[in-house]
Structure 1
Amino acid sequence: MPTDNAFLKEHQLLASQVSRLSAALKHHKHTFGGNSLVLYHASSEEFLIRLLAAAHAGFDIIFPANGQVENIETASLLADYVFVDSFTGSKQLSKDMLVLDVVDNAHSAIEHITLPQTGKLTFYTSGSTGYGKPIEKHWQHINAELTNLKHTFSFDKPCQIIATVSHQHIYGLLFKLLWPVLAGYKTEFTFVEFPEQLHALVEKQNSVIITSPAFIDRLIRDNVLINSKANILGIFSSGGPLSNESAITLYKQLAIGATQIYGSTETGGIAYRQVIDNKLTPWQCFNGITVANYQQQLAVRSPYFDDDVFITQDIAEVLDDGQFILSGRLDRTIKLEEKRVNLDALERTLCSDNFIKHCKVILLKSGKRQQLGLVAALSEDGFSELDKNGKLALNKHIKRVLSGRFEAVCMPRKFRYLKELPVNSQGKLVFADLEKLFD
């Protein structure tokens, strides 16, 4: 793959920094003991250096869900040390902060970054369908997936990898940081929050964009990348389902399809696809991964985890050629007053209405009482209706939209109307954040 001098210099500098920090961590481990640490840093570059150095020094690494005090404290319960950039919490952490004196040693300068081969990594899930939980992986799983990414996706020009997602979770960690290290691409460490930031970076050189459905939805409303689309070599989307409408719009605007990655923290990447028109587009498994039906659910065999098979909560139809089609999640089928309803089906019906761009239906519990809450991002027509006739009229309209398919007991009882759905740094909806809207 073509490389350039800027990449080589960046790689060599990072390799030397990893080497020096790893030596300091090894000394600390030998002197004071301990096998695990919590790692968080807002800077992607410093995070990568600390991650590789700690792993090469023999530490198992735990990633908190984010940099909030409570999440660092929760993750620290599994660790010997906390290795974070700053801590401003009002309470004392239960574990020692790791502070190192790193000596600049010329003999530590090396030219190549190598990926660790042993040790554990613990991720916390995003909490998109409930509260986050720890998921343990091993470097052998991570390396197997990185090798697959390198062989599956390649670009014939030197390019930079730009991400609009956090490096702290598995998608951003793999695609923004570790895959470029292995495959020889330059990483733009800046965390991109807005389309205008992305445009400023893309117009400078050939780029591959690592993003999410939420960011794509914002981008396509007034796509600032159209004039620099010749510089875009690839677009990847994960962290949630990208609607076919958004995928097709993006393709029409930029003449390049978003490569959607399907998977989870538990499974790693399972499959990929590009939707560029209204034809039904199935998912293609990554090399070495096979799927089958287990009752309604998708069952996965993969080198990315130790279990013989992982049964997902996704409802799927597996085709004769090994590709598959997804049609919702089994764990989003709930029972309300003895009536079963699938929340995915409710959302699909609501999003077919021209008042709603995106929405999420969640189950709200208060004691023994259960009811549905709707959080909807309204279209311009939706806001026009809201301004003209009020919330009560819009609530009734939404119930009429659903009444053709669903019984009265399945209707949402609480409604929140927003310009955009709230997402985290991965572009994913977080269940706890949605719940707070109804407090």
Structure 2
Amino acid sequence: MRDEALLPLTSHGEQEIIAWHGGRAVTTAEFLAQAAALAAALPGAGQAVNLCEDRYLFLLAFTALLMRGQANLLPPNRAPRVVEEVVAAYPGSYCLVDRPHGALAVQQFTVAVPAGQGEGAPIRAIPEDQLAAIIFTSGSTGAPRPHHKYWGELVRGMERGRERFVLHALQGGTLVATVPPQHMYGLEFTILFPLLNGLTLHGGRPFYPEDLRRALADVPGPRVLVTTPVHLRACVAAGLAWPPVALILCATAPLSAAAAAEAEAAFGCPVQEIYGCTETGAIATRRTVAGPRWQPYGGVRLHCNDGVCRAEADFLRGAVPLNDVIELHADGFVLLGRDSDMVNIAGKRASLGDLTHRLLDIPGVEDAALIVQDEGNERGGRLCAVVVAPQLTEQAILDALRPGLDAVFMPRPLYRVARLPRNESGKLPRAELLALLEQLRRGDGVQ
């Protein structure tokens, strides 16, 4: 039997600050001792649903599960029914929470920072073939599906991220995030990115612009902000004076070049979009203001044949089919839209992603979504738009859209709403969008 290769839990030195939590610095030695003590106290099981909202407690629970040889189950959302279905699918599993959830009819273990230390020296390395997490897709394109993530693959993916963002220039800096860690983008860029690349993690999860401004001001630079387009637009609209930020990473929804330019002006730093999916993790980036082309991570190879694109890399187990339509170029690729987003109306094809970008480029439009109605008719259906634009009328939006759009793709109807039903990660689950659309059709006063 061959010896399993072990990969370190963190790149931080023993006395380096690994996190800021509750207003105090936590060293790597303290963190590993706390994780070991928590691991020793956990129930015996193969997996546990990690629902901790406090980012440091999530990191502590994530690491303790790794030390204990248990996999982190990360559901598509924290709705009680969804969590209970995940637990039922993995017999013997339980939930890790940072406060008890009365609505959850499953075994719960409340995570807190341990007062003492575990027996013996903490585990500092994990077998590369150990199952670290089972992550569910968001449900934005259909029913959520589980994907297994092994420690070696996660570590190698973060190595590619370190190369892309030249992170040695940010060593000792702090990462602040507005997104939850219970999905692929959140896990990679708010937990593993700082853990494995020498950045300090901010243990909170600021939501409103002023909360985020205070969180950034409270930590030492250089600062990295991990967020979503919805949060980024809200921060720009708030008109606050922001502390210096070195880099903004953004994903989970379309970000227009205009919105990216406004964010770069407000924060005084580049905005980099991340391209990836639950199946692959992050595999490419682009600076949105520089144009539409994405640059794959080093070692990532894309192949498109017979209308299907696949990604290969040293951190992937074989060629992974992508759900997107991609146009390959010598210096990168252009994302034409999701395969499921391609629509054919009256014999003309377009991408819902591109059409959504056109809506978002209209000044005053804060968020938008498109969906095809009546797909079964002979013309291929018609588009419906749901838009957040408090200062615009429906007619003003249509007038701004019309010059750059073929008439068959003009949305009919177009609804204005106060907000879209995005989940915590900024994704827009299809079932929630359809439910909102049904309310709007009935005239239930959603606006």
TM-score range, shorter chain: 0.7 to 0.9
Q: Is the 8 A contact 1:350 1:402 kept in 2?
A: no
Indicate the percent of aligned positions where both proteins have the same amino acid: 22
How far apart are the structure 2 equivalents of 1:160 and 1:252? Answer: 21
Residue 303 of structure 1 pairs with residue 314 of structure 2: yes
The corresponding residue for 1:373 is 384
CA contact (8 A) 2:36 2:122 kept: no
Q: 2:267 pairs with 254, 275, 279, which one? A: 254
> Match for 1:362 among 371, 377, 388?
371
1:209-232 C-alpha deviation (Å, 9 max, x unpaired): 111111111112234244x22xx1
What does residue 338 of structure 2 align with?
A: 329
User: Is the Cα–Cα contact under 8 Å of residues 127 and 431 in structure 1 kept in the other structure?
Assistant: yes
Give the letter for the 1:212 counterpart.
T
What is the 5 A alignment of 1:284-295? 284-295=295-306
1:268 equivalent in structure 2 = 281
* Greater percentage in helix: 1
Structure 1 residue 183 and structure 2 residue 193: aligned?
no
CA separation in 2, counterparts of 1:133 and 1:402?
40
1:405 paired residue number: 406
1:344 partner SS: helix
Question: Given the superposition, is the C-alpha separation of residues 365 and 12 from structure 1 closer, same or farther in structure 2, using an over 3 Å criterion?
Answer: farther
| Structure 1 residues 372 and 139, CA gap change in structure 2 (3 angstroms) | same
Q: Which digits, 9 at most, give the CA deviation of each residue in 1:83-103, with x for residues without a partner?
A: 23223227x44xx44589999
Structure 1 residues 396, 213: CA separation in 2 closer, same or farther (over 3 Å shift)? Answer: closer
Q: Return the offset for 1:340.
A: 5.4
Judged with a 3 Å threshold, the aligned counterparts in structure 2 of structure 1 residues 241 and 184 are, in CA distance, closer, same or farther, namely same
The alpha carbon displacement at 1:192 in A equals: 1.3
Q: Residue 47 of structure 2 contacts residue 93 of structure 2 at CA under 8 Å; is this kept in 1?
A: yes
Aligned partners of 2:96 and 2:110 also within 8 Å? no
- Say what the alpha-carbon RMSD is for the aligned residues: 3.4
Contact 2:256 2:361 (8 Å CA) reproduced:
no
Instruction: Check whether the contact 2:385–2:414 (CA below 8 A) recurs between aligned residues.
Output: yes
In structure 2, distance between residues paired with 1:219 and 1:396: 26
Which moved further from structure 2: 78-87 or 266-275?
Answer: 78-87
Cα separation, 2, equivalents of 1:99 and 1:222: 36
1:252-297, Cα deviation, whole Å (9 max, x unpaired): 3333111211101111111112134xx5352111122111333455
Mapping of residues 21-36 of structure 1, within 5 Å = 21-25=38-42, 28-29=43-44, 34-36=45-47
Q: How does 1:161-172 map to 2 (within 5 A)?
A: 161-172=175-186
1:343-358 matched pairs, under 5 angstroms? 343-354=352-363, 356-358=365-367
1:429 Cα deviation from its structure 2 partner: 2.1
Q: CA deviation at 1:370?
A: 6.6
Uncovered stretches (5+) of structure 1, i.e. residues with no partner: none
Alignment of 1:232-243 (within 5 A): 232-243=245-256
**What residue in structure 2 maps to residue 216 of structure 1?**
232
Contact kept, 8 Å, 1:63 with 1:168, in 2: the verdict is yes
C-alpha spacing 1:331/1:433, structure 2 compared with 1 (3 Å): same
Q: Is the contact between residue 364 and residue 435 of structure 1 (CA under 8 Å) also seen in structure 2?
A: no
Cα distance change of structure 1 residues 328 and 156 upon mapping to structure 2, 3 Å threshold: closer
Give the C-alpha shift of residue 183 in structure 1.
Answer: 2.0
Structure 1 position 299, deviation (Å):
2.6
**Alignment map for 1:66-85 (pairs within 5 Å):** 66-79=77-90, 80-85=92-97
Among candidates 48, 51, 69, match of residue 37 of structure 1: 48
Residue 437 of structure 1 is matched in structure 2 by: 436
Q: Taking structure 1 as reference, are residues 192 and 113 closer, same or farther at Cα in structure 2, changes over 3 Å only? A: farther
Please tell me whether residue 152 in structure 1 is matched to residue 164 in structure 2: yes
Distance 1:112 1:146, change over 3 A: farther
Counterpart Cα distance in 1 of 2:429 and 2:340: 16
CA contact (8 A) 1:12 1:112 kept: no
Aligned equivalents of 1:253, 1:99: Cα separation in 2:
39
Unaligned 5+ segments in structure 2 are 1-10, 19-24, 440-447
| Letter aligned with residue 405 of structure 1 | D
Q: What is the TM-score of this pair, normalised by structure 1?
A: 0.82
Alignment partner for residue 150 of structure 2, among 133, 138, 145? 138
Match of 2:7 in 1: none
One-letter code aligned to 2:402: V
Q: Match of 1:423, as an amino acid?
A: R
Could you say if the C-alpha distance between residues 246 and 341 of structure 1 is closer, same or farther in structure 2, counting changes exceeding 3 Å? closer
- Residues 20 and 116 of structure 1: is their aligned pair in 2 closer, same or farther, counting only changes over 3 Å? farther
| Superposition deviation, residue 371 in structure 1 | 5.7
Local SS of the residue matching 2:161: helix
What's 2:445 paired with?
A: none
Instruction: Report the CA distance between 1:336 and its aligned residue.
Output: 5.8
Q: Which moved more, 1:368-377 or 1:414-423?
A: 368-377
Aligned to 1:87: 101
1:190 match: secondary structure: coil
Paired with 1:83 and 1:234, the residues of 2 have a C-alpha distance of 34
Distance (Å, rounded) in 1 between the aligned partners of 2:345 and 2:292: 33
Task: State the TM-score, normalized to the length of structure 2.
Answer: 0.80
Q: CA deviation at 1:326?
A: 1.7
Q: Cα offset for 1:418? A: 2.4
- Runs of 4+ in structure 1 over 6 Å off: 1-4, 99-104, 365-370
**Deviating more after overlay: 419-428 vs 122-131:** 419-428
